């Protein structure tokens, strides 16, 4: 099997194809050291959101990395209300009102210490707000020079096609991993349209026997095989695994060097 491409173009920049998701850094013993270590290990794409720690995640990234290395691209998101999930609640309430998206983007700029955010993503569609209105707010933010590129998260194909009628879309971030491929057709659309696909929850391996078997053969962790599978699944994919533990970070970033054979990839393919 040929090696997957080492970099990917996202938001007008070439970055390494294994990024870092910052959702869990608030739980790290030393979050500043964790973020800095991710960059040392080659993470050039760092994904965060305004609701991670109610803004604490963005502040920690700024404290850890400013002045930002030239090769590092910071992406953040807005569109959920902050809070904690209640029993039986699958997601936080959405708020995609244009005026709120503009306000939380300004707050993210201040916390991150940036004049312009390279990639700003609508965290989720708001069923109470016309989708075009939410996208329109991001277009206005871009026209004002506050963001450079627009991304989407937790969307379907219809959302992407609607958004593309209004503006270029740089990225789509949906849940996708070896055990959850519900966004397969979204990934296909992204690959067709030149949109980077950012799988969240990329290493939720569960009791995946195929991953475990390939990992044993390769002398690797199942989580590393899950990431290597994603890297080989499509050149449009940029995985962004997150962790609060330095040991897991080291393992995750090492997955970029794990080469799976054609036979191993075939065994990891979905059953027909």
pTM of the predicted model, to two decimals? Answer: 0.94
Residue 169: closest CA among 151, 186, 191, 183: 151
Pairing of strands 147-153, 171-175: parallel
Give the pLDDT mean for 161-167. 98
User: Has residue 83 got a pLDDT over 50?
Assistant: yes
- 135 contacts 163 by C-beta, under 8 angstroms: yes
pLDDT digits (tens, 9 = 90+) for 23-77: 999 999 999 999 999 999 999 999 999 999 999 999 999 999 999 999 999 999 9
> Is 90 or 155 the better-scoring residue by pLDDT?
155
Fold of 7-208+235-245: TIM Barrel (3.20.20)
Closest Cα to residue 107, out of 51, 145, 47? 51
Q: Is 52 a catalytic residue?
A: yes
Share of the chain above pLDDT 70, in %: 95
Averaged over 87-105, what is the pLDDT? 90
Alpha-carbon distance 241 to 220, whole Å?
16
The residue ranges of every structural domain in the chain are 7-208+235-245
pLDDT tens-place string over residues 2-12: 566 689 999 99
C-alpha to C-alpha distance for 123 and 21, rounded to whole angstroms: 14
For residues 150 and 118, give the distance between their C-alpha atoms in angstroms, rounded to a whole number. Answer: 9
Higher pLDDT, 47 or 91: 47
Kindly provide the residue ranges of all beta strands, DSSP E only, lying in the chain, ordered along the sequence: 7-10, 13-16, 20-21, 45-47, 73-78, 117-122, 147-153, 171-175, 196-200
Pick from 126, 112, 128: nearest CA to 52: 112
Question: How much is the pLDDT for 234?
Answer: 94
Q: How far apart (Å, rounded) are the C-alpha atoms in residues 128 and 94?
A: 9
At residue 89, the pLDDT reads 67
Largest CA distance in the chain: 53
Residue 188: per-residue pLDDT: 98
Of the residues 52, 68, 176, 229, only one is catalytic, namely 52
> What pLDDT does 206 receive?
73
Band (pLDDT 50/70/90 cuts) for residue 82 is confident
Question: For the segment 233-270, what is each residue's pLDDT rounded down to a tens digit?
Answer: 999 999 999 999 999 999 999 999 999 998 998 889 87
Predicted local confidence at residue 272, as pLDDT: 42
């Amino acid at each position: 099997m040929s090696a997957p491409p080492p970099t990917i173009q996202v938001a007008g920049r070439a970055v390494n194809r294994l990024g870092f998701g910052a959702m869990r850094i608030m739980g790290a013993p030393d979050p500043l050291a964790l973020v800095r270590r991710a960059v040392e290990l080659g993470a050039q794409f760092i994904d965060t959101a305004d609701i991670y720690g109610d803004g604490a995640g963005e502040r920690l990234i700024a404290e850890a990395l400013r002045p930002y290395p030239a090769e590092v691209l910071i992406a953040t998101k807005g569109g959920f209300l902050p809070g904690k999930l209640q029993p039986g609640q699958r997601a936080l309430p959405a708020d995609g009102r244009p005026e709120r998206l503009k306000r939380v983007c300004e707050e993210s700029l201040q916390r991150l210490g940036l004049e312009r955010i390279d990639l700003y993503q609508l965290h989720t569609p708001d069923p109470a707000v016309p989708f075009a209105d939410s996208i329109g707010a991001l277009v206005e933010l871009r026209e004002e020079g506050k963001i450079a590129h627009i991304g989407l998260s937790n969307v379907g194909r219809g959302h992407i096609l609607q958004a593309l009628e209004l503006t270029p879309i740089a990225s789509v971030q949906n849940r996708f991993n070896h055990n959850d491929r519900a966004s397969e057709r979204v990934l296909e659309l992204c690959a067709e349209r030149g949109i980077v696909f950012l799988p969240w929850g990329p290493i939720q391996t569960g009791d995946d026997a195929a991953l475990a078997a390939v990992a044993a053969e390769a002398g690797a962790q199942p989580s590393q095989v899950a990431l290597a599978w994603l890297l080989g699944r499509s050149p449009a994919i940029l995985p962004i695994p997150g962790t609060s533990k330095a040991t897991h970070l080291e393992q995750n970033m090492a997955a970029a060097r794990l080469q799976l054979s054609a036979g191993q990839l075939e065994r990891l393919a979905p059953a027909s």
